[in-house]
């Protein structure tokens, strides 16, 4: 959805033309794949992090336009809510000291952005959901003043035809309604991109889907929403419900939501693009002048703008991405599972774990997805979102016996997946010291059973025990989180609770 789109109404002819263009784009993609017109392997990775703005009191600040003006860098952009920013790190080649290099770039960039935000009376917070957000913060008036967000909101609201219902039952039960998609802005994520060749795409995507639950279990950082303690990683249910174009009757019929885990392992990237057209009506029927098939006939590389735009309105947790750079087409797997934060070190540990694990699993002779039913992978994802680091997952038994067994996520990671991730990072030629440093962070989280979500929840309960009211406890937890986030030590080392007497 990064493209600039112009606000305006759509009529029937726009939708009919867009539908035809989508089919032409899909035919163009099929030809590109058949003719092997894609970029050679480059081992390129990319990273985007969504951020929150909060004041010294821990409360959200609706001022991203002013902060972005002060930052004045193309690396930082708006996101959906006025309290959101996004930082984009330019693509890097996987190998050598890239993890440390990325960590340094992030620390420098986020430090600069935070100083500029402080000049405006706010600060940068890297967290899955800001605990102090309230329902009245997430209204249409607080959407970023950008045409594409307003237009997307109008189209999703029109498709649904009624208010959005949020109903998340976890530690506590949250129910409320919203007249807009603004609650989606509460979800701040880390998005990991991996450029892959068409021949490797299916294996990488399947591997990423298989380990999505494990990523969430170890990286959960979103236990609070609108003053309630809900799931350990509350972004996925919130994202699904706040973008749900289906009224209850369509939900009852089993119509697929636009935020979707998927329903099958794939054999080609084409499977996913084709599903997106088959299952999802277009939300933004904005047509480009390009004739993709003529461009191909003339030896060029089509941009497939309509396909790209439509793809950006189907919110898979592992999304296929088509792009063109310097006239050459490429494919990426975009992993959207992880919450932001808590620290740069934690983010880089999650990055190392993901890229190492996906590389190793995609190259196994007997891949995990041949032994793990897709429905089980989806159930694992749900379980991990609910329970975080305490989740117990279904996983194929080691050895030739076959079948599934229930295993605590921390045991699965330590015994089976960390060695695979290490082998995967070796295959990327990552410096051993960086490999050991960042995978060591994952191991320590497992050993201590601590991640961002468990730290937030425990610290919040300490504040309640000290006599603070709910809202004050959430604000105190947020302020302490921000303090420790800026100190930069990984979350498994953070002391629970508050130093000194409580005010």
- Locate 52 and state its tokens: 């929150």
Output the pLDDT for position 503: 42
DSSP-based three-state secondary structure for 467: coil
CA distance 81 to 72: 19
Nearest to 424 by CA among 43, 39, 92, 42: 43
Beta bridge partners of 89: 47
Output the pLDDT for position 7: 42
Range 278-306 burial, b when 16+ CB lie within 10 A, else e: eebebbbbbebebebeeebeeeebbbbbb
Output the pLDDT for position 266: 98
* Other residues' Cβ atoms within 10 Å of the Cβ of residue 501: 6
Output the pLDDT for position 9: 59
Long-range CB contacts (within 8 A, 24+) of 493-499: 493/444, 494/342, 494/450, 494/455, 496/455, 496/458, 496/459, 496/462, 497/458, 497/459, 497/462, 497/463, 498/459, 498/462, 498/463, 498/466
- Locate 312 and state its tokens: 């950006």
Whether this model's pTM surpasses 0.85: yes
The residue whose two tokens read 């790209």 is 308
CA distance 453 to 386: 11
Output the pLDDT for position 14: 80
Pairing mode, strands 259-260 and 315-316: parallel
Pairing mode, strands 84-93 and 315-316: unpaired
Range 383-420 burial, b when 16+ CB lie within 10 A, else e: bbbbbbbbbbbbbbeeeeeeeeeebbbbebbbebbbeb
The answer to whether the peptide bond before residue 54 is cis (omega within 30 degrees of 0) is: no
CA distance 9 to 460: 46
CA distance 456 to 266: 37
Nearest to 395 by CA among 376, 381, 414: 376
CA distance 30 to 166: 39
Q: Judging by beta carbons within 10 Å of its beta carbon (0-12, 13-18, 19+), is residue 222 exposed, middle or buried? A: buried
Helices (H), 90-139: 98-119
Nearest to 198 by CA among 329, 301, 72: 329
C-alpha torsion angle, residues 258, 261, 264, 269 (rounded to 10): 70
- Locate 421 and state its tokens: 């991730």
- Locate 433 and state its tokens: 């010291």
Range 38-67 burial, b when 16+ CB lie within 10 A, else e: bbeeebbbbbbbbbbbbbeebbbbbbbebb
CA atoms in the 13 A half-sphere facing the CB of 252: 3
Q: What are the E-state strand segments in 150-304?
A: 164-169, 173-178, 189-196, 224-225, 228-229, 259-260
pLDDT averages per 10-residue partition of the chain, 503 residues: 47 84 97 95 94 98 97 95 96 97 97 97 98 96 90 90 95 96 96 97 98 98 98 97 93 94 97 96 90 96 96 96 96 98 98 98 95 98 98 91 93 98 98 98 98 98 97 98 98 91 46
- Locate 400 and state its tokens: 């030739």
Length of the chain (residues)? 503
């Amino acid at each position: 959805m990064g493209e600039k789109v112009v606000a305006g109404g759509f009529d029937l002819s726009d939708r009919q033309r867009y539908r035809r263009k989508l089919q032409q784009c899909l035919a163009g993609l099929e030809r590109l794949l058949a003719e092997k017109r894609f970029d050679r392997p480059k081992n390129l990775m990319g990273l985007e992090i969504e951020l929150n703005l909060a004041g010294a009191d821990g409360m959200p600040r609706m001022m991203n336009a002013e902060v972005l003006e002060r930052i004045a860098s193309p690396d930082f952009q708006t996101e959906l809510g006025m309290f959101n920013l996004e930082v984009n790190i330019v693509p890097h080649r996987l190998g050598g000291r890239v993890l440390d290099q990325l960590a340094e770039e992030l620390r420098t960039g986020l430090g600069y952005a935070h100083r500029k935000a402080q000049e405006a009376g706010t600060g940068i917070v890297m967290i899955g959901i800001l605990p102090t957000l309230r329902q009245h913060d997430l209204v249409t008036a607080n959407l970023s003043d950008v045409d594409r967000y307003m237009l997307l909101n109008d189209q999703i609201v029109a498709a649904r035809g009624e208010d959005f219902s949020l109903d998340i039952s976890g530690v506590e039960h949250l129910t409320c309604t919203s007249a807009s998609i603004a609650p989606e802005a509460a979800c701040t994520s880390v998005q990991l991109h991996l450029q892959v060749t068409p021949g490797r795409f299916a294996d990488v995507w399947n591997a990423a889907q298989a380990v999505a639950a494990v990523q969430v279990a170890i990286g959960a950082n979103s236990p609070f929403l609108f003053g309630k303690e809900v799931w350990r990683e509350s972004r996925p249910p919130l994202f699904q419900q706040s973008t749900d174009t289906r009224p209850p009757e369509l939900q009852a019929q089993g119509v697929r939501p636009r935020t979707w885990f998927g329903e099958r392992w794939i054999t080609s990237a084409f499977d996913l693009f084709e599903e997106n057209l088959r299952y999802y009506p277009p939300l933004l029927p904005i047509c480009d002048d390009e004739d993709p098939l003529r461009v191909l006939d003339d030896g060029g590389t089509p941009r497939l703008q309509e396909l790209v735009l439509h793809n950006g309105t189907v919110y898979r947790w592992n999304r296929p991405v088509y792009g063109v750079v310097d006239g050459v087409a490429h494919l990426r797997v975009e992993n959207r599972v992880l919450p932001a934060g808590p620290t740069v070190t934690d983010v880089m540990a999650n990055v190392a774990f993901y890229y190492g694990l996906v590389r190793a699993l995609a190259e196994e002779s007997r891949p995990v997805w041949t032994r793990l039913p897709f429905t089980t992978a989806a159930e694992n994802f749900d379980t991990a979102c609910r329970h975080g680091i305490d989740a117990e997952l279904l996983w194929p038994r080691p050895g030739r016996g076959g079948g599934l067994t229930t295993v605590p996520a921390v045991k699965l990671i330590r015994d089976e997946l960390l060695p695979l991730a290490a082998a995967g990072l070796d295959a990327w030629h990552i410096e051993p010291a960086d490999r050991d440093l960042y995978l060591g962070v994952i191991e320590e989280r497992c050993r201590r059973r601590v991640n961002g979500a468990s730290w937030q929840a425990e610290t919040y309960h300490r504040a309640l025990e000290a006599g603070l009211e709910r809202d004050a406890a959430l604000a105190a937890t947020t302020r302490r989180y921000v303090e420790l986030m800026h100190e930069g030590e990984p979350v498994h080392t953070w002391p629970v609770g508050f130093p000194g007497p409580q005010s």
